[in-house]
Amino acid sequence: MLSFHISNEGREIQIYCDEDGIAALIKMLERVRADGNHLHFRTPSNGGRDLSETTPWGQQAIGEVIINWVGE
């Protein structure tokens, strides 16, 4: 389980994850660093399988998260 949720009137992003979710997040972050590119995390309704559709409390989660590498 891995989901991102915007709260506090758009000033905060909360990440919810279990053991599998944190492992997937770490793997993806290592991949974007190694490739020096970008990655998309998506919910099934957005054509992906990386993110959960809802938070553990049933709130609508963000449908897509893009991580862009801007390092050297």
pLDDT in tens, 28-48: 999 999 988 999 999 999 999
pLDDT exceeds 90 at position 72: no
Could you read off the pLDDT of 50-61 as tens digits, one per residue? 999 999 999 999
Domain that holds residue 27: 2-68
| Residue 71 confidence (pLDDT) | 77
How far, in Å, CA of 16 to CA of 13, rounded? 10
* Tally of structural domains, the chain: 1
Beta strands in the chain (DSSP E): 2-7, 12-17, 38-42, 64-68
